[in-house]
Structure 1
Amino acid sequence: MTTSLVHAATRTAAPNRTLAVLATAQFLVVLTTSIVNVALPQVRAGLDLSAAALSWVVNAYVLLFGALLLLGGRLGDVHGLRRVFLAGLALFTGSTLAAGLAGNAVMLIGARAGQGIGAALLAPTALALVLRLFPAGAARGTAMGVWGAVSGAGGAAGVILGGLLSGILGWRAVFFVTVPVALTLLVAAWYWVEPDQPRGGTVDALSALSVTAGLIAVIYGLSDWHDVTARGSLVAGALLLTVFMIRQQRVVDPLVPRRIFTVGRVGPANALMSLLDAVWIGLFFFLPLYQQRTLGYSPAVAGVTQLPLALSITALSWATPRLDRLLPRRTVLGGGLVALTAGLAWLSRAPHDGTFLADLLGPSLLAGAGLGVAFVELTSLSAAGVPAGDSGLAGGLVNATRQVGGAVGLAVLTAVVAGGDYGAAFTGAALIAAASAVLSLIWLRS
């Protein structure tokens, strides 16, 4: 009797233990995206970098991460999700250590590129492993709530830790702090993430090359589309993606098969996720600028005052599966997007002499609640009904959608900001959120 109870408890604990490992990996990916940005002034001074080299400290990670997500997810389906996840995590860990030890610009940029490649392998496969581990229903909803919560917490932790560590211990600390966590995670994943059965098959090299190069060119082009070189990159990216789409119609086993968009609400969910991330990236980009350039906050104070936003995202991500048990998912998603719209519209009215309590706290809590709800719902919908053999692809697709949507959104919102009028950026983000709310009601009627 006692032995049976122990075995039952172990079986119950195992999925949650595995979820903890995979969610921590997601936390590290999000953390790495934000922690370095705050430390860039110290990085430039420490290695005597030019402005162009400093931009590539960010771009090397962002471009490769965003461009390789589709390929990373598909490699997981073909060769095994656990195997690709472990390979990505090992590369990510080694590259993070190399970044902390870098003695010049070439070493640092190369290490950041390695981080991006590793993240592109581990992020979609981690999500796919969660989707396989928890079948559709309440268990998956809870898992997605955890996923959204760690995503929100990772972004906030990166901003705060980046400012504190770089200011106290120097810029290398922003890399070194994650190495022991990643190493521990690698060991835990080796023992606690169970092997899966690969789908088999091959990955078409020309498709992989064209979509990767195309996404790199598009994301780079959108990052500074006022520049002639960037506009040329945008055109080249569009041509490469056209080649990719033509190629997908002609190969037997396409990298992104058309069938993925006919399952459930995968297509609409990814479209809405692109709009959501346009708002998400825009908010986290322009809010610190408003706080520092308009209100005169220091980087550390700006980071700390974003805690309510991050905590609201985390809390509502956790609560969303419980809301789904009380209300239709369409209603919950629509309500989240309306709350996001209201929070951004409120934030757009913040004056040049505003205060945190009067002008930032309320809209931050409201916008954060909307982001948390919408992120969890759209992540769940992006994989609902997808066959197990395509779960890596679904994970790569929704992550790639987020990256491209964020790049497009930031380019658009940057264009509407004139003379430091950050209210215009928040107004633009509110309009995007409002459009998302309307589209969600139209596309998700059943």
Structure 2
Amino acid sequence: MQTKFTKYEFSILSIVLVSYFMTVLDVSVVITALPKIQDDLHLSTANLTWVQNAYTIIFGGLLLLGGRLGDIVGRKQIFNIGLIVFGLGSLLVGMANSSMWMIIARGFQGAGAAALAPSTLALLMDSIPAGTKRIRAVADYGAVAGIGASVGLVIGGLFASLLSWRYAFFVNVPIAIVMFIWATKAVHATKPQKGSFDGIGSILSLLGMVSLVYGILLVSTSATAWVWILAAVILLGLFVVREVKVAQPIMPLRVFKNKERTGAYLSRMLYLGAMMAFWFFITQFLQEVYGFSPLMAGLGFFPMTVANFISALQVSKLTAKFGNGMTLVGGLVFTIAGMLWLSFAGSGSNYVVAVALPMILIGIGQGAALSPLTTAGIADIVPRDAGAASGVVNVAHQIGGSIGLAILVVLSTTIGGTALVARTALALRGGVVFLIIALILTLVLIVPKKAK
């Protein structure tokens, strides 16, 4: 069996990985720069939260539509449109001079990412045949999800301290232009499927997700929170009903008939919920408790970034030896151990012992977990549903992060009060609970398939 990529396959893989890296990077690049952004734009705490959530919610809410449009219009066309929208959104974010401008621009950027992300994974599946080469390619794709997020923390702190947080977004513009030119020349156009996209379903899913996250964020501060949560339940319920009845759904429910895929989606949501809380709280912890600058806070994540990179490079070998499911189990166990250890960090603790060492465990775990989750999320999928399954993988990634962060922020604030050390500890231990549930789901739904 041929194991080396052809020139065309390598070109597609490079375009896919760089483009996906760019979208994942922008989930975390803003985190270490948040204090600087808040000072420059005079943002309230609520508006500051929406600088992050506007991107992730729109990104996650439109992913299903992005995946379906790729099936109907063509992967290459939607991929190129996504690059244009994402690049323009990045430019607008970098030019923002008010909270409203910033939040709208982040949402616009998220819309571009929603077109890009499912198209990247679907293009990879279209262009690289099933077998050893695709396993390697999907492993690389999954690794980018973790490495991009980790590197984003460092880059965000670097620009915020040495130049301006705006450059962290401006840098996307030339990258998007180069990728657009390269993809236009290199990527073969896929044959569009006959059909139409489900606009009503897209609106219901987007409004439902926004209402759910917003309602959770309001739980500790407003009695209207439960109204928003109830509205979310109704909207998402209507979305599911529509997907059952509509001829060409944006989220075909047959995607969930496979237990391995379903387990991967649920576990990915829980994993990203825990990781988003980790990034969000530890960034603040390093700056406010340890007194790190944004640059030092970004570099403070370096042990995790290096461990993540090394671990991700070994995934193909690990899955070949132990299977996809057991590699995922190992990644979850390492992440649980690291996050639990980190939750005991305090104002008087040593950075190396209390933060850096547990970060290494988290990095190893993340590098070993995200690729297997991606592989399981597209397991045994038929070509006609490749775009839809790719969309669901990315929806689980983005929406899981938003909902998980919202839940853990509310719980930590309600129980821990205003003390950052206490809130951080509670959020991380809540993340450990998420990860343990993900581990149980993996053992029940994913591992048995691979053990046969």
Give the TM-score, by structure 1 length.
0.91
Is residue 52 of structure 2 the alignment partner of residue 58 of structure 1?
yes
Whether contact under 8 Å (2:157, 2:299) holds in the other structure is no
In the other structure, the counterpart of 2:384 is 389
Q: CA deviation at 1:94?
A: 1.5
Whether contact under 8 Å (2:25, 2:148) holds in the other structure is yes
The count of residues paired between Structure 1 and Structure 2 equals 439
Dislocated runs of 4+, deviation >6 Å: 8-11
Moved more, 122-131 or 354-363: 354-363
Distance (Å, rounded) in 2 between the aligned partners of 1:374 and 1:357: 24
Distance (Å, rounded) in 2 between the aligned partners of 1:9 and 1:347: 40
In the other structure, the counterpart of 2:363 is 368
Is residue 435 of structure 2 the alignment partner of residue 433 of structure 1?
yes
Distance (Å, rounded) in 2 between the aligned partners of 1:354 and 1:174: 31
Q: Which of residues 370, 374, 380 is equivalent to 1:379? A: 374
Whether contact under 8 Å (2:12, 2:187) holds in the other structure is yes
1:324-352, Cα deviation, whole Å (9 max, x unpaired): 11112222221221121121222223343
Is residue 403 of structure 2 the alignment partner of residue 403 of structure 1?
no
Distance (Å, rounded) in 2 between the aligned partners of 1:374 and 1:246: 32
Distance (Å, rounded) in 2 between the aligned partners of 1:382 and 1:73: 14
Q: Which of residues 95, 99, 103 is equivalent to 1:109? A: 103
Letter aligned with residue 336 of structure 1: G
Distance (Å, rounded) in 2 between the aligned partners of 1:330 and 1:161: 32
Match runs of 1:20-35 below 5 Å: 20-35=14-29
Q: CA deviation at 1:121?
A: 0.7
In the other structure, the counterpart of 1:260 is 255
Match runs of 1:237-386 below 5 Å: 237-263=232-258, 265-386=260-381
SS in 1 for 2:189: coil
Q: CA deviation at 1:21?
A: 0.8
Whether contact under 8 Å (1:65, 1:116) holds in the other structure is yes
Distance (Å, rounded) in 1 between the aligned partners of 2:45 and 2:320: 51
Distance (Å, rounded) in 1 between the aligned partners of 2:4 and 2:357: 43
In the other structure, the counterpart of 2:151 is 157
Letter aligned with residue 429 of structure 2: T
Q: CA deviation at 1:53?
A: 4.6
Distance (Å, rounded) in 2 between the aligned partners of 1:267 and 1:9: 29
Whether contact under 8 Å (1:278, 1:406) holds in the other structure is yes
SS in 2 for 1:288: helix
From the superposition, tell whether residues 335 and 161 of structure 1 become closer, same or farther in structure 2 (CA, over 3 Å): closer
Letter aligned with residue 423 of structure 1: A
In the other structure, the counterpart of 1:5 is none
Give the share of equivalent positions with the same residue, in percent.
33
Q: CA deviation at 1:304?
A: 0.3
SS in 2 for 1:249: helix
Distance (Å, rounded) in 2 between the aligned partners of 1:408 and 1:137: 35
Distance (Å, rounded) in 2 between the aligned partners of 1:139 and 1:154: 22
In the other structure, the counterpart of 2:76 is 82
Whether contact under 8 Å (1:264, 1:385) holds in the other structure is no
Distance (Å, rounded) in 2 between the aligned partners of 1:59 and 1:278: 13
Letter aligned with residue 387 of structure 1: V
SS in 2 for 1:198: coil
In the other structure, the counterpart of 1:18 is 12
Question: Aligned-pair RMSD on alpha carbons?
Answer: 2.3
1:354-385, Cα deviation, whole Å (9 max, x unpaired): 11222222211112111121111011010011
Distance (Å, rounded) in 2 between the aligned partners of 1:11 and 1:334: 29
In the other structure, the counterpart of 2:425 is 423
Gaps of 5+ in 2: none
From the superposition, tell whether residues 111 and 407 of structure 1 become closer, same or farther in structure 2 (CA, over 3 Å): closer
Distance (Å, rounded) in 2 between the aligned partners of 1:10 and 1:443: 32
SS in 1 for 2:6: helix
From the superposition, tell whether residues 384 and 188 of structure 1 become closer, same or farther in structure 2 (CA, over 3 Å): same
SS in 2 for 1:256: coil
